[in-house]
Chain A
Amino acid sequence: MPDTSIILILLTLSPVVILFVHTMVSRTLLSVKPGFSNQLACLISVAIGHIPMGLLLLYFAFNATALSNEPVAPSVIYCLIVYNSIGYSYFHLFNMSETARRVRILYEVKKAGRLEDSEIQSMYDTGDMFSGRVERLLSMSQIREEGGRYLLCGYFLYIPALIINFWGKLINLPLLKDPEKKK
């Protein structure tokens, strides 16, 4: 049977594998294709990470001897769930460093040593934040522009947006801002 202990050790080390692949992908793209979406590069890295992780698991845990006695399906399903959950967490961690206002405020306060409230406010032009987000959605092919109007063209982020909106209601948090109702 596949060795559970080895599977667990390898899966626990999977963030290191993802980080290694991401570093390679990110640095390659920076020199080959500057301007490529950083988030997309991260997602691609997590997807590519299936290959080295799969090979490691195949070599160390799912070898021929191991496969002789017991069905392998539960182990494969388990590995896929755990690896992709870790990959998803990694993506969010990276995304936090990329887009989170809290992280940027922390960075600016640390850099300056001390910042006045008005100085923090002046760092942000909400229009600039807005255009940055629209640019990112365009570069990730989640929205498209047609005749000066934006339309949805990808569901990769929209479906999570709907789920998060629904879940936010369930746990009694303030709902996602509904731009249409604010008009």
Chain B
Amino acid sequence: MSYLIILYGFLSFFASIICHVLVWRLLNPRSHITYLALIFLIIPLASYVLLFLYGFSGGSILSLPATSEILGAALLHFALAAAYIQTYPAMQARCPTLALLIAIKRSEPTGISYDELRRSFTSDNPINERISDLTNSRMIFKTGSGYSITARGLLLLWPLMALRGLLGLPTGRG
């Protein structure tokens, strides 16, 4: 294994990052999940499959050796992409825990009281935003004045419930 694998893995990841920044600033897409999957997973996957097939047929691009070395760069790309995609909801959802930390740090050296923090935390309605996110991403759908879960929602929920069951933990307190 050479440093080139690491270099190419990072290069393809940064190419995805640049596309992501450009698309978000220029197009401001509504369905974030679809565009993230396209930019970080589907397009890179297609590119790596083409590279792999090219390498498999005996070709070599940009000094990158064929087959397992290409798979190595691809695995690095997808590991980094997964880490990024997992971080993304914290930005999209204005993660309150992170906002609390920033508020506490900014209050130094005197610190901030429970009531002051709580006031800033309750100044908008995060539940409406979450319901809207779930509806836009088709995890739940509106039935009259209520909501029901979709197959896509179940697809997200089941693995998480199974994980917590395996760990012996009750439902999260989100």
- Which residues of A are found within 8 Å of B101, using beta-carbon distances? 137, 142-143, 152, 157-158, 161
How near does chain A come to B131, taking the closest CB pair, in angstroms?
6
Contact B147–A109 (Cβ < 8 Å): yes
In the complex, what's the smallest C-beta–C-beta distance from B56 to chain A, in angstroms?
Answer: 14
Looking across the interface, which residue of chain A has its beta carbon closest to that of B86?
Answer: A92
Interface size class of A (residues with CB under 8 A): 35 or more
User: Does B45 have its Cβ within 8 Å of any Cβ on chain A?
Assistant: no
Name B's interface SS. Answer: helix
Contacts of A161 in B (CB 8 A): 95, 98-99, 101-102
- CB of A89 within 8 A of chain B? yes
Known pairs A85-B80, A107-B161, A179-B121; A12 contacts B91 (CB<8 A): no
B90 CB, nearest partner CB in chain A, Å: 5
Whole-angstrom CA separation of A179 from B76 in the bound complex: 37
In the complex, are the beta carbons of A179 and B103 less than 8 A apart? yes
A63 at the interface (CB under 8 A from B): no
Interface size on B, residues (CB 8 A): 88
* Extra 17 A-B pairs, beta carbons < 8 Å, given A106-B149, A115-B147, A130-B96: A11-B79, A92-B86, A97-B172, A99-B172, A101-B93, A102-B139, A104-B174, A106-B153, A126-B126, A130-B122, A133-B100, A143-B101, A143-B104, A171-B24, A176-B98, A177-B123, A183-B120
- By a beta-carbon cutoff of 8 Å, the part of chain A in contact with chain B is 1-2, 4-5, 7-8, 11-12, 19, 22-23, 26-27, 30, 38, 70, 74-75, 77-78, 81-82, 85-86, 88-89, 92-94, 96-107, 109-110, 113-117, 119-121, 124, 126-127, 129-130, 132-134, 136-137, 142-143, 146-152, 157-158, 160-162, 164-165, 167-168, 170-180, 182-183
